[in-house]
Structure 1
Amino acid sequence: MTSSHIMELVHVIRQELNLTRGVPPKLETAYEHNDGSLHLVVCDRAEKSLLLGPGGRIAAELAKRTGRKITIYGADEILLRKHRLRLTLSRIEEVAPELTSLQSQVLNCLRYLIEQELSYPNQQIHVDSSIGQNLKVSLAFSGGIDSTAAAMILKESGIIPIAVMVRMDHQFQNPRDIKLAEEWCAQQDIILERIDTANEFSDLVDRVDLGRIHPCGECHSLIIKRVSDFALQNNYEVLVTGELLPSGRQAIVLQEGLLIIHLPAALSLSKHRTEIKAEKSGKQLFRRKFGCNLVAKSHCQGWRTIGPSIFRVLRELEGGILTTGQGLDYIKDIVSSSARERGE
């Protein structure tokens, strides 16, 4: 499908929907992947906004009429993403002299994946299951979208992920979510190791109940510490996480001999990309929910805890991880969870 044909359709759709404000958007390039999906590149964020339309209405109608899955990019977003990917490559070179043989092999796999991402969306990502050579790594696994996507990226690359889940009580996790995560690992033939926490988080829960802290920062640190300790005690040299924010050089950390790779961040993936990857693996996607049960409970304390949650969403929005629609969904959930916890 040619760029001119696409823009003719866009012009008709804009007229029919009476969405004709501004200068008509200009399409720089259109890439068609082997799966039939269309990837449209416009010059910047403002052009992208006009091509999407309010609430994505123009893009949705374009997808309907072409029968294709459509993704729209600003050229400025692609430039920023490539800059971050090259920063991650530079970090690989920084840590290379300090690595073990296995760690070097894992980072060689990551280097291959980054080179693939640098050619995206011009070319479809080529999956090569031979590059991982059945290397084993530990994976901090919550069963959420991002750690699920990380697990699939590893598996598709021929790396064997050993999923490590920190088991926490109902104040953090719903039993149904834990069961779904366990079933998903079984379906994917991924070994799942569980770490029991006993009463390690009780002090945190008490302070949240008293309105003294927002739980995310401290809880995250405790979980990473427990998973890192597990990895070291069981002779895993690499720990992979599903984190999205620490991109560029911050995506790779060498700590006490343990190589920590925040995989989606290292590949500069968006939440949209991790959602697609997780859904293709068979994970059920429900409505977007911000944080765990304890975070939702903390929101009844008012702005002291609502503010940091919204700030987190804004950071991910600013970082290009979330779309405005995704960000709005999470903020709505934060506000509604506050009302629910107060019984409103």
Structure 2
Amino acid sequence: MDSQTLKNLVFNIRKKHGFSVEVIPEILGFHLDEKENFMTVVVADRPDKSAVFGPGGIISKTLAKQLKLKGVTVKAQTDVLVRRFRIKLAIKRLREIGSQTGSREVRFVVGRRLIPLLKNGLKNPLTINLFKAKPSKKNLAVVAFSGGVDSWVTVVVAREAGLNPIAVSVSPEKWILPVKTRKLIKSLASTYDVPLEFLKGETESFKQIFFDGLDGKIHPCGRCKRLIEKTVVDYAREKGIPLVLFGDLLPTGNYSAHLIGDVLRFNVLAALNLTKSETVAIAKMFNHPGTSFTYGCPMLREIHKKHPHLTYPSIQRVLRETRAGILEPSQALKYVKSILGWFKFLKEKG
């Protein structure tokens, strides 16, 4: 099969479903992963991607069914160009850090692990091809593991890259990390033989954030995130581990890495410019059940119910991730619906 045959199939599927066929999407090529029975279609631009994907993925799902594939994903060449550029920025940033730091351990993980990992992403921007290296005898990374798909993929990427990571979950109370999530965290870490620690952190400080949020004084995420980061970095420093990894997808390029004293803080998935669809796919490959696209922790959802005006910063975060190309519009809509769940709560209460 060639690109023209694929164009014809998409044209016929769109016509059958009653969609516009005045313009035929520009399909540049495709990659078929025979092992996974999965196809990646490369198109020219975002409108071409929308046309091949279709509302709710109806066109790509129908295409997969006709070709007897497990699935079809669509990549725009414009997005691939942006991804390559962002990865190059992240590599440049790591090289700057490697030349500036006095830590031999940081220089080692930058030069022998992180830059090769990003170069692998440059070579394989269309496929899920994790960088693999011989496991270190020492623990070279601490990963902040919340139980979500992004943080689990961060654990997986670190493990495959030979960083011998320790996963740490900051859990001062059940209103941040529910029992069900703790069980999932333990199960995943145990299945893949990843050392796991639960850290309480500064419990009273977390409680103050919760109470201030319930009083409507603050949106808690910024302060909570900084406190979690401090807890994880302090743990790494205490253990003499040079690298901490977080699963945030937004801080790409130059903003993906910085030093906190003698510890390197690195958003590896953002540096690779991965999307939510890709992290969900990788997470499922490594036994994670996936995501329901519910926004925030139980504490935040309770604050949303009590103070509807505090939903706006949460929605803004979703919009920023959509603008960055991390979320597809349909995924963003699910998050926004979950944030606005307080409408249903108020209706039931009334």
Which of residues 81, 84, 87 is equivalent to 1:82? Answer: 84
Which of residues 164, 175, 179 is equivalent to 2:179? Answer: 175
In structure 2, the gaps of 5 or more residues are none
Q: Could you tell me whether the CA contact under 8 Å between 2:83 and 2:125 is conserved in 1?
A: no
- Counterpart CA distance in 1 for 2:126 and 2:301 is 40
Opposite residue 140 of structure 1, the aligned amino acid is A
Which of residues 243, 248, 257 is equivalent to 2:253? Answer: 248
More displaced, 135-144 or 207-216?
135-144
Which secondary structure does the structure 1 equivalent of 2:204 belong to? coil
Q: Could you tell me whether the CA contact under 8 Å between 1:128 and 1:157 is conserved in 2?
A: yes
2:106 alignment counterpart: 103
Which secondary structure does the structure 2 equivalent of 1:18 belong to? coil
1:156 alignment counterpart: 160
Q: Could you tell me whether the CA contact under 8 Å between 1:251 and 1:265 is conserved in 2?
A: yes
RMSD of aligned C-alpha atoms?
A: 1.8
Question: How does the TM-score come out when normalised to structure 1?
Answer: 0.94
Q: Could you tell me whether the CA contact under 8 Å between 2:7 and 2:24 is conserved in 1?
A: no
Flag the 1:75–1:230 CA change in 2: closer, same or farther, 3 A. same
Alignment pair present for 1:257 and 2:259 = no
Alignment pair present for 1:232 and 2:237 = yes
Give the deviation of 1:195 after TM superposition: 1.2
- Counterpart CA distance in 1 for 2:126 and 2:198 is 41
Which of residues 174, 191, 198 is equivalent to 1:194? Answer: 198
Q: Could you tell me whether the CA contact under 8 Å between 1:102 and 1:135 is conserved in 2?
A: no
Q: Could you tell me whether the CA contact under 8 Å between 1:28 and 1:42 is conserved in 2?
A: yes
Give the deviation of 1:285 after TM superposition: 2.1
Opposite residue 26 of structure 2, the aligned amino acid is K
Flag the 1:134–1:153 CA change in 2: closer, same or farther, 3 A. farther
- Counterpart CA distance in 1 for 2:122 and 2:34 is 18
Alignment pair present for 1:2 and 2:9 = no
More displaced, 313-322 or 275-284?
275-284
Opposite residue 220 of structure 1, the aligned amino acid is K
Alignment pair present for 1:140 and 2:144 = yes
Which secondary structure does the structure 1 equivalent of 2:25 belong to? coil
CA deviation digits over 1:82-138, x for unaligned, max 9?
A: 1110100110111112343322232232212212211234566264232x5445211
Which secondary structure does the structure 2 equivalent of 1:200 belong to? helix
- Counterpart CA distance in 1 for 2:132 and 2:240 is 27
Question: How does the TM-score come out when normalised to structure 2?
Answer: 0.93
Equivalent positions of 1:1-344 (< 5 A) are 1-35=1-35, 36-68=37-69, 69-99=71-101, 100-108=103-111, 109-121=113-125, 125=129, 127-130=131-134, 132-136=135-139, 137-197=141-201, 198-340=203-345, 343-344=348-349
- Counterpart CA distance in 2 for 1:185 and 1:337 is 34
Flag the 1:184–1:338 CA change in 2: closer, same or farther, 3 A. farther
Flag the 1:308–1:126 CA change in 2: closer, same or farther, 3 A. closer
Which secondary structure does the structure 2 equivalent of 1:199 belong to? helix
More displaced, 136-145 or 213-222?
136-145
Give the deviation of 1:301 after TM superposition: 3.8
Q: Could you tell me whether the CA contact under 8 Å between 2:14 and 2:21 is conserved in 1?
A: no
Give the deviation of 1:274 after TM superposition: 1.1
Flag the 1:214–1:126 CA change in 2: closer, same or farther, 3 A. closer
- Counterpart CA distance in 1 for 2:205 and 2:58 is 48
In structure 1, the gaps of 5 or more residues are none
- Counterpart CA distance in 2 for 1:34 and 1:343 is 50
